[in-house]
Structures are given as structure tokens and as C-alpha cells.
Structure 1
Amino acid sequence: MGNNVDVLEVFKARKSLESQREFLNVQHSLGIIDADGVRNELELISKKEQAIRDRLVLNSHVTADGLPRSIAHHEPTPNNPKDYYSTKMPDGKKIKAVTYDGLMEKLFAYYTTGIRDYSIESVFNAALHEKEVTENPKANTLAKNRVDFKHYISKELASKDIRNVNDLILKQYTQEWVNREHPKQKAFFSYKGILNLIFDYAYAHKIIPTNPVEMIKNKPYMKSCDTRKAKPEDKILSPEEIDIIKDEIRYRMTKKKWGSYYINGYAALFAIETGVRVGELCALKWEDILATSIHIHAQQLSVKENGQKVYYYDTCTKNEKGISQDGREFPLTRKIKNLLLEIKDKQDALGIDSEFIFCNEDGDWIKKDAYETFLRRLCQSKGFHVTNNHALRMSLNSNVLLPMGISVADRAAMLGHSIQTNLQFYSFAKKDYLENVRDLLDSQDDSNEGTLREPLKIIPFSKKESPEALISQCF
């Protein structure tokens, strides 16, 4: 028998051609391609399938010495009017077929028995491929599906033959998972989405007779999900935590392990001061630094090409949704200007020539994945619960801009989102608001009069601004 890896590769190639055939039929039913076009393409696919099949059979159907086993053609005779093809199998039995093509199909079935991979992981990959070629999904959607599969589906479950997985197995797995992880409802629905993707595909392609996921109701598992709303302290970093990040980055710049040109560290320092998104941070160019402001109008995105992640420069920010409106501007403060001058001096000293501000020593722009990994590990090393760049955006809004009395309209414009988004998702009381409020109240305590004196400075600590305040700020 031929090499198992070769057999699997041949089988996968045949499955790919089957998917192409199904896709052609869909195109025909939608009127995208005419009958003649379908017929020609189907003939081509059939020829490819036959060539793949014959290659596997001829490589596998050999004697112990590696010689090809003979295939006999029995033509009709007066004593035996039957016309057929036959060959002897490795176990000594003979198999027959009316046509040569029919015999090759029987041999193919024989040599692939037990080889076909019906594991949940393989079905997931097939389902994802079909989704990619038929549903025009975004690259990020496919990437999220892959991440979700690895996160929610254990290796043990992924290796199971999907034909042997019933609703009881899935229910037990689901119950153990929710009781162990207590996921957020959003995570639970992502998990269900992966199950639906896998088992819907298997059912549609007649791999399984029924879909066991349909038997899994959400209500029993919601009891074990974490339904609590995230508290502000779960979303933002305190001013003290921000200072810890700054100090750690500056400390690392003094160590040989990281070096003084610690570009991901510089990127984090810049993000702390500006609240830029990760993609915007990576795409920022020196030409975007104006006399009094920073022009934020592009982002770094990525797509999958031939199984590899490829990064590209997109001329829109996230909130512009593919239609450039020339981005937004953020004020160029003295602190930000000095930070940029420091980066430029380091690049000049190292002979780095790049249009991008945040670039590696070879001049290539930093990548989102690398920066996010750096920031997550740094925050985790300090024991922080929030470890993402988004927390820096929200912390700037809640810890700096909001207490300064900057209007919600201006805050939204600086961060690049709507007023409603800023109010609903970005404007929280500072993490240490209780201590600050107590100090303010204590400072007004007049021990002689027993009354409050005029406050020296009032800082608003409301979690959400009132509609009246919002309206007044818009005029």
C-alpha cells in the first residue's frame, strides 16, 4: 500500500474537487453560469478526479515486491458473453467490474477504507474552506473562527470521529466546559457558533444523519455563564497602573535584553498619550505629524494569502468603514512632540530610514500581532487584569480627558468614534474615584462652622453624562 500521507493528500484533493462541483451547481442555480459552462467545467473536474484516483490506485495496487498488480480485461466469448475487468487483491480475492473505470473506483474505495478523516477538526477545516469560497467572509471572521475552535474545542473532542458524536456527548462536554470556565454569554454563543459551523456542514454533506447541536438548548447552560456586567475597573487602567507601564518600559530601555530602541515600548508610550487604535498606531507615518496636530487617517490590516498572513496599508480608519473621510486630528502636545523627537533621534543614530514612525531596525513597520503580544505580556507581568491597547484608549478618556472637562463631542472627535460610543463605552468614573471624592469632601469640612466651604476645585466623576449636558455641549 502507498504512503499514508500520499493517500490523505489524494483524498483531500478529491474532496476539494467535490466542493468545486457543488459550487458550480450553486452558480448555475443562481444564473451566474450557463449550462454549457457548467458542463465544460464538470467534465474538467471529472478528468482531474479520475487522474487523482488512478494515481493513488496505481501507487497502492502493487505486489509485495513493489510491482504493479495486473488488471485483466475479459472480452466476450461464445462460452462467456460477459465483458468485464478483474484484478487480484492483496488478500488473494478477485474483484470485478463491467468497465475499467468501475474497477478503478472499487480499487480506490478499497485503498481509502479507514483512511478518510472524519475527525471533528477535519470537518471544521472543510466547513471553513466552504465558508471561505461561498460566503465571501472577511479575513478577520475566518481568523476568529480558527481561534475560537482552538479555544473552545479540546484536542480530545477535536480528534473524535464526528459520526460517533451524539447529542449526549456534546451536552456533557458543554456542561463540563461552562461549569469549569463560567464564560461570558458572548463566549458561549461563539462556542455554539463553532459547533453549528461544524455539524451543519457534516449534516448538509450527509456525513451524519442528524445534527446533534439542534438538541443543545441554551437555557440550561446560561445558569453557569458569567452574566455580570463588566465593572469600570475591569476595562480601564488607573493612573497609577499607567505610570507602572511607563516606568517598566523606561526601565527595559536601560537593559541590554531589550535595548534603548525599544520600539514596541515607544509605541505603547505613544498610545497612552493619544489613545490610538493598534492598527492606526502601526500605520502612522512621519508625514502625518503636522505643526500642531497628528493626522490619523489610516490603519494596518491583514489578509490570509496562501495560508500566510499578509499586512497592508488601508487608507481608512476603523470608524470610517472603508470610505475615507480624511480621518481625524489629535493635538500635538509638548509631551507627544518630545517623545517623537526621542524616537527620531534613536532612528537617526541607528541609521534607520523609514516612512513609518514605529518601525523595526530594518525599517519595516511594526505588526499589530507583535505589539499586542508585547503589551499583553508586559501587563500580565505586572499582574494587571486588563492587558490590551483598548484599555489605554478608555483610560485616556476616563482618567485624563473627562476630568479635564473636555466635552464629549471633542473627546469623541479625538478618539475617532461617535458621541454615543464615547458615552456608553468609554466614559467611566476613575478607578480611584472614591478616594478622590472623599478627599474633596474632607477638604470642604470646616471644623469651626460645621458647614461646607466653597470647593476649590470640583472634578466631575459621573460614569455617564446626562442628556441635558450632552445637548449643551453640542452648541
Structure 2
Amino acid sequence: MERLEINETLSQLELLQKMKAMLDEEIRYGIIGLAEATEQEAKMKRQERKLIKEAVDAIHVSKNGKPRNIKLNEAKGLYYTNMPDKSQVYGKTLDALYENLFHAYGLSLDYHELSVGEIFKQAFKRKQFNSTNKENSFTRNLKTYKTYFSSDFTDRDITQITKDDLLSYTKSMCEKFHPSKKEFLAYKGILNLIFEYAFDKDIRSDNPVPCIHNEDYYKDGYCNCITRENVDNILSTEEIDNVRTTIRERLSSYKYKGYDPNGFAIILSTYIGTRVGEVCSLKWSDIKEFFIWIHSQMVEGERKASQGMTWKYCPYTKNERSMSSKKGRYFPITKDTRALLQEVKEKQIELGIYDEDGYIFMRTNGTPINPNCYTKALKKIMDNLGYHVTNNHAFRKSVNSNILIPMGLDEVQRADLLGHSPEVNLNNYTYKRLDDTNEIYQRFNPKTNENTVGLD
């Protein structure tokens, strides 16, 4: 095959690539059905393989013009052949071998076609198309990829990355970021997504990710293995009072002028031990006669260039996401929580931002607080007090230890109030929650007849 004919073959392959891109768009917008799209993709793949084989057969020859031998290594289950420079190219199938030879001879249509970054895009697209994961999961995947994968690494040809390369990059990444165990596993998950896709598509003959042993990075200090439990200690009653006093001092300052939605939310959290996302999503309609109905959370939305991360209301709590029945939980209103909520309500009425169907912890511009700004406010307060607290986990543990246990509530009742019981407990003891609500309320408010109902 003359060079002119090879160029013609490349032009036909380039046309097929454009047709594939158009087909992807038609699938995305529902113009074509999945069955028909699958049939068209298979047809285009057959055409592509035929053209690739023609191009490789014309160039993969010895000095005498005869085709180079292709052999099967039965022990490895791989086809292989020698290149002119004596190096070997492998493939799980003959089609895969021809594709690898096509790229080995520099006939790729796009330099980035086999880059780590390009394979990630394809793998991520497949995951979005086939997976039942929530949008937040995909957002976290992209955040992990953008954080821990450098452009130098993502521009590399994935077929040329060895196990040693992967180990070396992982080590340097950990030395730079010192990720937590959770973050390290997320990084490894993205690596596996990329290389497993390359293996499935016969781009690589192996997936080298299993060579990364977690414990090697945990024990040698490459990862930050300080767990949240070691940092967020249970706060004493005195320390909780100090937190509330500090926020009250903030409220009296010129900056806040008596209204600090993050501060009010933090105070409420010290009484009822909600998660950050839950307290941010509370609405006035969630305040019932004797209880606060906790049944929602604020979750991450899309990241926008003009405003960064956006947040959206989710109508169920973290522990209910995998449950078919999402009823939320009820935390008894006490004299203290009623007074706090009444204060917030009156201040919002004064500012002209109160909405009986709106959020409880709302900024003066009418938008609700979000977990990000809440956590920043909490960290600033805790740093000033010298407490090693980074989120609401300390409040949840403190409410459990300082309030619920001394009341004599059993383990199921305590877990139910905090919403952190195992799924099996929630499924098996839902009736107990409904039966015990009045009893639990009276333990929080011994003299029920002296307590008013709801808010004024």
C-alpha cells in the first residue's frame, strides 16, 4: 500500500470517528434508540477494524516484503509480533493486536487518543451511561480526577505506562497531597476506572492498578491516617456552653447586628446533633407541635465558574438514601430550642425575610446557608476557642453522651434520634420510633403541661 493509499485509509477512519461522535450526540439527546445505536456502533467498529488491518498489513512487513509473523503465547493468552526495532507488541485478540500495531506505527488519528486523559473521558462517559449512581457521585469522581491527576500524567500514552510508573506517580501524588484514606481510595478508584476500561477495550493487555497496596501508603506516612474520631472529640457541657457564648458575642457585634444564620444553626446543632447538611436544609414547615422533623439535607449540585459549588435541597437524610421508605426522624423541641427558633423567626420578620415555607437559616439576601459556609464559620469559632473540631460530628457525639444517655434512652432510641443507626435497625424498629415519640418528648420536657405548642 502506497503512502497515498494509507492517507486515504486514515481519512476514512477519521470520517468514522466523526460518525461515532454524531451517534453519541444522538444517543445523549434521545434521537436514536439504544438498540439501533448499538447496531450502528457494531457496524462502524467492523469497518474500523477492516481499515486498520489493511493499513497494518501494508506496513508490518519484513525487509523482503513478507508479512511479519504473528504468534500466540498460550501461557499468557496473548497474541504478539515483533516490530522492526525488535520490540514486541501484544494483544488479547487479533483485532486488539492490530489496533496496538496501528498505534505503534504512529498511525493514530489523534496523539491524545490513547492518553490517560482521553481514556478517562471515555470510561467516565460509559460509567454515566450505564451506572445507576447519583449525580453527586459523578461530581465527586470528577473532583478526585482534577485534584490528584496531573496534566503530565494524563497526557501520557496509557499503553506505555508500566507498574513501576504507576507506583512512582502514586508515591509522588501522596507526598504532595497527603490524602486521607477515603481520598486515597477515591484516587485508586479513578485509576481502576481508567485502566479497567483500557483493558476491556483491548487497549492494554493488563490492569496494573492491583499492584498498588493500600497498606504500603497508610503505614509509611504517605496518607493522612488521622481519623475523624481522633480529631473531633466529645465536647463537655462546659465546652458546649463556651461555643454558645462565643456565638452570642458574635451576634452582639456590629458585623452581625443580632443576626447570624450560621451561628444560629451551630447553636441548634449543639442541642439536637444534626448533620451539617441536615441543619442547613431545615425549613419552618419542619417545626411541628412538639418536634423538629429532620428529613432532608443540602447536597452538592453543579460547580459553576461564576459562583463555584452550588447546593441543592435533597428530600431525605444520609442514612435514608438506600431505603424505600424515607420518613425522616423527629427530635423533641425543648424550652431552649423553642426559644432559639422563636428568636430567629422574630429577627427574620424584622429583616423582612421571613417565609413560613422557607428555610430557617437564611441569609439576609434570601438564600439559605450551605454546608460549606457553615463549616467555615464553625471552624473559625472552634479555632478561636482552641477546640479541635472540624464539623458537626463532635456535636452529635456530645448530644449522645451528654444528653441522651443520662436521660436513660436505650441504644435504639438514641440512634433513631441522631439518624445513625444501621439500616437493619431502622427497618426493624420503625414502629418503635412511632410508639415512643410521646414518651421521649416527656423525657426532654418533664412538665409537658407548662410547655407551649410549636412557635408563636
TM range (shorter): 0.5 to 0.7
Change (3 A) 1:249 1:113: farther
For the pair shown, which has the larger CA radius of gyration, 1 or 2? 1
For the 8 Å contact 1:179–1:224, the answer to whether it is kept is no
Match of 2:445 in 1: none
Match of 2:372 in 1: 369
Match of 2:334 in 1: 333
SS at 1:260's partner residue?
coil
1:194 aligns with 2:197: no
Uncovered stretches (5+) of structure 1, i.e. residues with no partner: 1-9, 47-109, 423-475
Change (3 A) 1:221 1:414: closer
- Post-superposition offset of 1:334: 1.1
- Cα-to-partner distance string for 1:247-284 (whole Å, 9 max, x where unaligned): 33223323344453211111111111111223322232
- Cα-to-partner distance string for 1:104-150 (whole Å, 9 max, x where unaligned): xxxxxx99966636554454344323211121222222122223334
Aligned counterparts of 1:274 and 1:154: Cα–Cα separation in 2 = 43
What TM-score do you get using the length of structure 1 for normalisation? Answer: 0.58
- Post-superposition offset of 1:324: 4.0
- Post-superposition offset of 1:336: 0.8
Change (3 A) 1:374 1:122: farther
Change (3 A) 1:305 1:231: closer
SS at 1:300's partner residue?
strand
Please report the RMSD computed on the Cα atoms of aligned residues, expressed in angstroms.
4.4
Letter of the 2:170 counterpart: T
SS at 2:342's partner residue?
helix
Identity within the alignment, %: 34
1:236 aligns with 2:239: no
Change (3 A) 1:123 1:411: same
Aligned counterparts of 1:117 and 1:374: Cα–Cα separation in 2 = 45
Higher RCO (C-alpha under 8 Å, 6+ residues apart) = 2
What TM-score do you get using the length of structure 2 for normalisation? Answer: 0.61
Change (3 A) 1:272 1:126: farther
SS at 1:316's partner residue?
coil
Change (3 A) 1:398 1:193: same
Match of 1:130 in 2: 126
SS at 1:329's partner residue?
strand
For the 8 Å contact 1:352–1:363, the answer to whether it is kept is yes
Change (3 A) 1:22 1:167: farther
Uncovered stretches (5+) of structure 2, i.e. residues with no partner: 1-14, 46-105, 426-456
Match of 2:139 in 1: 143
Letter of the 2:350 counterpart: A
For the 8 Å contact 2:299–2:312, the answer to whether it is kept is yes
Letter of the 1:328 counterpart: R
Letter of the 1:263 counterpart: P
Map 1:63-462 to 2 at 5 A.
116=112, 119-154=115-150, 156-177=152-173, 185-208=181-204, 210-218=206-214, 220-224=216-220, 230=227, 233-239=230-236, 240-304=238-302, 311-321=311-321, 322-324=323-325, 326-354=327-355, 355=357, 356-380=359-383, 382-418=385-421
For the 8 Å contact 2:276–2:391, the answer to whether it is kept is no
Aligned counterparts of 2:18 and 2:385: Cα–Cα separation in 1 = 49
Letter of the 1:199 counterpart: F
Match of 1:61 in 2: none
Change (3 A) 1:178 1:115: closer
- Cα-to-partner distance string for 1:371-402 (whole Å, 9 max, x where unaligned): 23433454455554330123321221123322
For the 8 Å contact 1:284–1:296, the answer to whether it is kept is yes
For the 8 Å contact 1:167–1:215, the answer to whether it is kept is yes
Aligned counterparts of 1:364 and 1:229: Cα–Cα separation in 2 = 35
SS at 1:338's partner residue?
helix
Aligned counterparts of 2:225 and 2:252: Cα–Cα separation in 1 = 42
Letter of the 1:417 counterpart: H
